[in-house]
Chains A and B, each alone.
Chain A
Amino acid sequence: MYHKAYGIIETLAPLHVGASAGEEMGNLNLIFRDQFTQTGIIPGSSIRGRFRADMRSGANKGDVNQWYGHEAVAGQSDGGTTEALVKFEYASLVWFPVFCPGQPVVWVSCPRLLKRYQMIIGGDAKIPQPYTADNSLQAKQFSEQKTTRKILFFNLGFMEIEHTQDMQSWIPQGSSLQKNSLVVVGDNDIAMLHDMGLYRQSRVKLQDDMKKVAGGAFFNVEAIPEGSVFIFPVGLKEIGWNPFVTEAEQEMYFGGLESVGFGRCRVTLAGAYQ
């Protein structure tokens, strides 16, 4: 029987967890995506690696081998490896900010992503239908219409909000989201909206001594934008895992390009872990 815990990740800077080389296209360094929704994920291995490394070097120097398993040692039978007491799964998006000129910044999600979120946190609230938002959402107004239709523009066209409900209960613990900016879209729409909201940057290398492109090579990188919220499940064979000492949250870095400010996240732990 596992103790169930989970973590909420809110990105405080663009986050780039790169796809494997085979998935790269041309000179665009893609992020790793979930195969169904095509939205960005953080693999469990990345999360585990960061927690493990931080436990090795951080303020709370725990027994790394006990929690994360003993690495193989030459000469020992079966390598002397042990099973980890704490297990991580990949983090999936819960809410994802999309900036579109002329309308408020909205955070989007879809039933499939919210279903996973609910499975992790527990509970049996009804998953919002596609095209649902909180009543307090300020959208584009089209005054020609008699009704006060709430319409948003995304790269797939104009989208009307068809249902409203109180979204407060869909705000993950530890995130700084406001309910008036949450919008649930269809499972078929999320991939495209995700594409619209990604942080994309063209980068070039300049010459060492002159402000001029060195060689002409440039590459593009995509990243999950600042303000995105992820959830990942944690399974524990024992409670007492205490990575953040007395706090429930801590800043951690995930993914690549840390030296240029990418990957800074706030992680909040919840559930049965300590």
Chain B
Amino acid sequence: MPPIPDVINKVPMMYRAQVTGRCQLQRLVPKAEEQHAQRWTKEWTERSYPHPPQFSQNVQTRSYSISWRFVTNAGQDDGIIRPVMGARGWPFYPGSSMKGLFRSACNPQQKARYCGQELPGGDMAPGILRFHGGYPTNKKWVEKLLDLVHPQQDYQVKRGNANHSAFMMISLYQPELNFGISSSEDLSPQEWTEIWQIWEKAMAKGLGSRVCAGYGHPSSISGDELYPPHRIHGRGMASKTLSGAEFRPNIFRAAIRGHALRIFGGLVPAPIAEREVDKLFGGLGSREPIVGLVGMKFVADDLNIDRHGRGRFEVRTYDVTGQLSWLLTRPLPDVQREALKNLILRLNQFAMILGGFGKSWRRIDHPFFFEEYYNHPNKSYIGCHWEWIDKFKRDVQIAAPKHLEQFMNNRLLPSVKEWLKLQGVNLNSQYAQEWRETWHTAKVQVWGRIAQNQEDSIAVKWFHQPYYSDNKQGIRNSIKGTSITGRLGTIGRIWHRMYPQFKFSQGDTPTKTRGYVELITIFPDQSPECRQFLTFLQQEQQDFQRVWPLNN
């Protein structure tokens, strides 16, 4: 055979060693023209079969859509999570995984009949069902395979210099999967109905890996929800992915988990706070991995991805409405379950009242609240905005700054303490002093006021110009670009929020007003700008009142 020029670089990525220069799938090389994982997926998909593999007529099938992403790790490559490849290059949910999940949703009789049982003497009797696994129903699976995972908890909560690099994963985006089951006996239609009911019950726990982060949940089936879902609406900047932009529901879990860590860290020492958060949301643990108690699912019923800004300031944005559910991953005694329900509910309220979700969640949505900012060209999108829809009575909780203290001291903190006590944690007055954001009276202050309408944010201007200036004396006090507001590459120490104001009247559903509760949350540092700004808040302005902690 005559030589092939540059043959070494024509070897498909899948057959290359995972070493520098050859192929490193998990690595994200900034500004690279093409990531290795991009080429890997392109090669994988470009000549794979055009038609999905089909089950035969004797196999019963049903299709289900996945609400967001889905992955079953093949375990074939080191350092990267990627799907199992089935026939002719199609991604595949293996029958063995399907059987395992199905079995976990069976009662003992069903388990024995459908999945087999152990006989006396250690022999096994086979079950009557065969689980054929699942394939995507169409070729859309080739789109948006690259999934950037970007863990930031340590960076945001604990230390500003913590490592937070992104890495690559390969998962299917909103696939519709066709699952097959057949039986070695002829079964009645009623029994098939029962079998598919078991499968749906099984699927409700989530399929494949990373289900606690919202992966692998069927759109139409609900698992063991802690309480009815929150319906919410939000807008902000979409996450950047290599294939464009995407609304990534795991932002909810990241935010709630981060807040749990901040709040636990204000009540117990750092290692205990971390351990308790891992027990709730899962983690690597100190000795062996911990499976979290709480899973998350988000089903968007209306999602618009759009653009904002021009040129290099252009970003992709989302406007989304959907249902956010929190699921229990395994049974819990009633007392614990009730406490967990309260805890997660309060953490959700905390996140909605004081923060937001996703990119730039510490700032208010500038295009919405501070339109004039964009009178100048070349301004970046800043902030995000989230609102409740429907279940206001349960979710809103504050209608005025003064309610914040009630929420903190009568609702949130008791539910946290109750949960920690049930976990056998001893609450003495120690806390995670070293972290940059700890929810402890010595570490945080919340200030609030009522804004009359959307345009009436006072604090938003403090981020962009001096909060105090006296031209005669040449004084310009500003927090812009300091460690408080943050700058490029540094996370700020202040959260700013316009929380929609509702009117509560006895017995009625609260109604939305035009106003907002404007809240700023500060985790002061030792900088002179910070001290000066706190003095300003305390002595030189009347708009904002300190709302938490009150007696400190």
Q: Which residues of A contact B15 (CB under 8 A)?
A: 100, 153, 155
Q: Which residues of B contact A160 (CB under 8 A)?
A: 1
Within 8 A of A (CB), among B351-402: none
Q: With A101-B14, A208-B104 in contact, do A158 and B1 touch (Cβ < 8 Å)?
A: yes
Interface size on A, residues (CB 8 A): 46
Contact A203 B7 (CB under 8 A): no
Contact B115 A259 (CB under 8 A): yes
Interface size on B, residues (CB 8 A): 56
Q: With A210-B291, A212-B291 in contact, do A102 and B130 touch (Cβ < 8 Å)?
A: no
Q: Which residues of B contact A199 (CB under 8 A)?
A: 86
Within 8 A of A (CB), among B51-105: 53, 56, 58, 74-76, 84-89, 94-96, 98-100, 104
Bound Cα distance A225, B53 (Å): 12
The minimal Cβ–Cβ distance linking A108 to chain B, given in whole angstroms, is 14
The minimal Cβ–Cβ distance linking B106 to chain A, given in whole angstroms, is 11
Contact B95 A260 (CB under 8 A): yes
Q: Does B254 touch A at the CB level, under 8 Å?
A: no
Contact A201 B84 (CB under 8 A): yes
Contact B44 A101 (CB under 8 A): yes
Kindly name the residue among A99, A144, A153 whose own CB sees the greatest number of chain B CB atoms within 10 A: A99
Q: With A97-B88, A144-B5, A251-B58 in contact, do A203 and B291 touch (Cβ < 8 Å)?
A: no
Q: Which residues of A contact B132 (CB under 8 A)?
A: 13, 261, 264
Q: Which of A144, A227, A253, A259 is the one whose CB lies under 8 Å from B127? A: A259
Q: Which of B13, B48, B130, B291 is the one whose CB lies under 8 Å from A99? A: B48
Q: Which residues of A contact B14 (CB under 8 A)?
A: 100-101
Q: Does B330 touch A at the CB level, under 8 Å?
A: yes
Q: What is the 8 Å Cβ interface bit string for chain B, positions 1-36, against chain A (1 contact, 0 not)?
A: 110110100111111000000000000000000000
Q: With A102-B12, A201-B84, A251-B58 in contact, do A259 and B99 touch (Cβ < 8 Å)?
A: yes
Contact A258 B11 (CB under 8 A): no
Q: With A12-B56, A158-B4, A262-B95 in contact, do A99 and B88 touch (Cβ < 8 Å)?
A: yes
Q: Does A202 touch B at the CB level, under 8 Å?
A: yes
Contact A102 B43 (CB under 8 A): yes
Within 8 A of B (CB), among A203-240: 203, 205-206, 208-212, 225-227
Q: With A100-B12, A210-B330 in contact, do A105 and B89 touch (Cβ < 8 Å)?
A: yes
Q: Does B180 touch A at the CB level, under 8 Å?
A: yes
Contact B56 A251 (CB under 8 A): yes
Kindly name the residue among B1, B48, B74 whose own CB sees the greatest number of chain A CB atoms within 10 A: B1
Contact A260 B94 (CB under 8 A): yes
Contact B126 A261 (CB under 8 A): no
The minimal Cβ–Cβ distance linking B107 to chain A, given in whole angstroms, is 13
Q: With A158-B1, A260-B99, A264-B56 in contact, do A211 and B211 touch (Cβ < 8 Å)?
A: yes
Q: Which residues of A contact B211 (CB under 8 A)?
A: 211
Q: Nearest chain-A residue to B11 (Cβ)?
A: A153
Q: Does A103 touch B at the CB level, under 8 Å?
A: yes
Q: Which residues of B contact A264 (CB under 8 A)?
A: 56, 130, 132
Q: What is the 8 Å Cβ interface bit string for chain B, positions 174-185, against chain A (1 contact, 0 not)?
A: 000000100010
Q: With A104-B47, A105-B49 in contact, do A99 and B4 touch (Cβ < 8 Å)?
A: no
Q: Does B490 touch A at the CB level, under 8 Å?
A: no
Q: Which of B2, B47, B116 is the one whose CB lies under 8 Å from A105? A: B47
The minimal Cβ–Cβ distance linking B89 to chain A, given in whole angstroms, is 5
Q: Which residues of A contact B118 (CB under 8 A)?
A: none
Kindly name the residue among B44, B87, B330 whose own CB sees the greatest number of chain A CB atoms within 10 A: B87
Q: With A153-B10, A153-B11, A153-B12 in contact, do A101 and B47 touch (Cβ < 8 Å)?
A: yes
Q: Does A114 touch B at the CB level, under 8 Å?
A: no
Q: Does B129 touch A at the CB level, under 8 Å?
A: yes
Binding site for A on B (CB under 8 A): 1-2, 4-5, 7, 10-15, 40, 42-44, 46-49, 53, 56, 58, 74-76, 84-89, 94-96, 98-100, 104, 115-116, 126-127, 129-133, 180, 184, 205, 211, 289, 291, 329-331
29 contacts between A and B (CB under 8 A): A97-B88, A99-B48, A99-B88, A99-B89, A100-B12, A100-B15, A101-B14, A101-B40, A101-B43, A101-B46, A102-B42, A102-B43, A104-B47, A153-B15, A206-B100, A212-B289, A226-B86, A226-B87, A257-B96, A258-B184, A259-B115, A259-B126, A259-B130, A260-B98, A260-B131, A261-B95, A261-B132, A261-B133, A261-B180
Ordered nearest first, which 7 A-B pairs have the shortest CB separation?
A261-B95, A101-B43, A261-B132, A226-B87, A260-B95, A102-B43, A202-B75
